[in-house]
Amino acid sequence: MVKQTCYLTFALQGKVKGEIGMFFKNVGMIEYEGADSENPYAFKYYNPDEYVGGKTMKEHLRFAVAYWHTFDADGKDPFGDGTMFRAWNRMTHPLDKAKARAEAAFEFFEKLGVPYFCFHDVDIVDEGATLRETFAYLDQMSSFLKEMMETSRVQLLWNTANMFTHPRYVHGAATSCNADVYAYAAAKVKKGLDIAKELGAENYVFWGGREGYETLLNTDMKLELENLASFYRMAVEYAREIGFDGQFLIEPKPKEPTKHQYDFDAATTIAFLETYGLKDHFKLNLEANHATLAGHTFEHELRVAALHDVLGSIDANQGDLLLGWDTDEFPTDLYSAVLAMYEILKAGGFKTGGINFDAKVRRPSFADEDLFHAHIAGMDTYAVGLKVASRLLEDKALDQVIEERYESYTKGIGLEIKEGRTDLKKLAAYALEHDQIENQSGRQERLKATVNRYLLNALREAPAEKETR
């Protein structure tokens, strides 16, 4: 049984002033009840112990809760104030508030049964008046979280430093024109890596929300990119020095908040890493809504990363075609989840990474319980994605069309091209003899119907028997 009382233990020890007890009193442990269940507080498809292709769902999916959207956010948008008045955010002293928030967070993690969480430094405690004070707060909260983790099974998937909210980052952080800002950001990353080491984080993330430019008219792009590369290099060196062996991840995003961000998409980020000799030290944290902002599907980004062996982790969410900005909605689109899991499984699954819900409940979904409904929906969606993708791969359901499509490269001139045994003169001679070309159908619709059939069958079928390893 998952230990579920650590928050009470801390509260009773007087480590939290103010509210004592459970923050989610009306919600118990979320269990798997199966597809026929009508209980909104139960998983219908995510069965953590169920084996899918040799591993349990829990081992495959490695779900994480995002601290910022779940415990810090209050629903404010550019036009309106917050709508979510969380009991754990009521205290005024930063450390009291931070500890209450951590207690709520661990209660939530344990009731939901997620193995991981993720945070930015500013999520776990507000910044102080000076950097020194901020660091003192962070040290205290890092110890507090460490104690909570010791009495729980929840671990840290990744942490990161927020280098985009405060006005000091107006021109960027590691790409700022102001060297003092660069140094400040470096100090935050140093502290972030100390915390990652202390809490045993499996990864450390860089998301460059302000690393980019608004106009080339005032931008030295070469200097900014070189500075960014040095920044990453120093992070790798410091991690080595302190013995932090987690995986570094870069999270691409094309725009928002900055008009043009340097880590635009997977391909751009990989080219950057190659150019500056950093590729051995970094993998990517790919986010669905960032992919769509870049004009790609999520599966495109995952495939590009997998091809270059840098598929690290994902931020699971979805955008809204009618809105077009980074809406960070909880993933409920089963079809997309199937295609994403298909790419992830094909690439060998997660190693240090996992599925972080970088997703927020909508502003009108302001009740505390909505946080559970949203995560249950997201976890069930990815569980279906996993099952369907695994079955598609097991049955090689899509392979035959691909094999037939590229058959011309398995023999004759095609094989010579593939093996690099030809040149333009030989190809021209061949083309002159074979200029009556015949193409075959690409069979898109048939393939989409196959995916639909697997999806619908998976939803219909009874839960699989427990496999043994």
The entry of Co ion, ligand XUL, none that residue 253 binds, CB within 5 to 8 Å by partner kind: ligand XUL
Residue type, 437: I
Q: Is 358 annotated as catalytic?
A: no
Task: Write out the two tokens for 448.
Answer: 């989409």
Under rule CB under 6 A, residue 160 binds ligand XUL:
yes
Q: Convert residues 273-302 into a mask of x (bound to Co ion by CB under 5 A) and - (unbound).
A: --------------x---------------
Which among 72, 123, 315, 380 is annotated as catalytic? 123
Under rule CB under 6 A, residue 381 binds ligand XUL:
no
Under rule CB under 6 A, residue 251 binds ligand XUL:
yes
CA distance 332 to 298: 14
Q: Which of 50, 127, 265, 315 binds Co ion (CB under 5 A)?
A: 315
Complex with ligand XUL: residue 207 or 330, whichever CB lies closer:
207
Closest CA to 164 of 135, 204, 207: 207
User: Least CB distance from residue 94 to Co ion, whole Å?
Assistant: 24
Q: Which of 299, 326, 343, 368 binds ligand XUL (CB under 6 A)?
A: 326
Under rule CB under 6 A, residue 358 binds ligand XUL:
yes
In 350-397, which residue ranges form alpha helices assigned H by DSSP?
368-394
Under rule CB under 6 A, residue 111 binds ligand XUL:
no
Complex with ligand XUL: residue 111 or 191, whichever CB lies closer:
191
Residue type, 329: E
Strand partners, 250: 206, 284
Q: Is 120 annotated as catalytic?
A: yes
Q: Which helix (H) or strand (E) holds 272?
A: helix 266-275
Rg (CA), the chain: 24
Complex with ligand XUL: residue 204 or 207, whichever CB lies closer:
207
Under rule CB under 6 A, residue 227 binds ligand XUL:
no
Contact 442, 405 (CB under 8 A): yes
Residues within window 169-208 making contact with ligand XUL, judged by CB under 6 A: 205, 207
The interface region with Co ion, picked from 78-86, 125-133, 230-238, 353-361 by CB under 5 A, is 353-361
CA distance 297 to 371: 27
User: Least CB distance from residue 212 to ligand XUL, whole Å?
Assistant: 13
Under rule CB under 6 A, residue 247 binds ligand XUL:
no
DSSP state of 117: E
Which among 60, 69, 120, 290 is annotated as catalytic? 120
Complex with Co ion: residue 249 or 334, whichever CB lies closer:
249
CA distance 411 to 26: 65
Q: Is 465 helix (H, G, I), strand (E, B) or coil?
A: coil
Contact 254, 294 (CB under 8 A): yes
Residue type, 276: Y
Q: Which helix (H) or strand (E) holds 311?
A: strand 311-315
HEC letters along 175-221: CCCCHHHHHHHHHHHHHHHHHHHHHCCCEEEECCCCCEECCHHHCCH
Binding-residue total with Co ion (CB under 5 A): 3
The entry of Co ion, ligand XUL, none that residue 50 binds, CB within 5 to 8 Å by partner kind: none
Q: Is the dihedral of CA 140, 142, 147, 151 positive or negative?
A: positive
Q: Is 385 helix (H, G, I), strand (E, B) or coil?
A: helix
Under rule CB under 5 A, residue 328 binds Co ion:
no
What is the number of helices (H) and of strands (E) in the chain?
Answer: 17, 14
Under rule CB under 6 A, residue 380 binds ligand XUL:
no
Under rule CB under 6 A, residue 287 binds ligand XUL:
yes
Complex with ligand XUL: residue 286 or 455, whichever CB lies closer:
286
Q: Which residues bind Co ion (CB under 5 A)?
A: 287, 315, 358
Q: Which residues bind ligand XUL (CB under 6 A)?
A: 120, 160, 205, 207, 209, 251, 253, 287, 315, 326, 358
Where in the sequence numbering do the catalytic residues fall? 120, 123
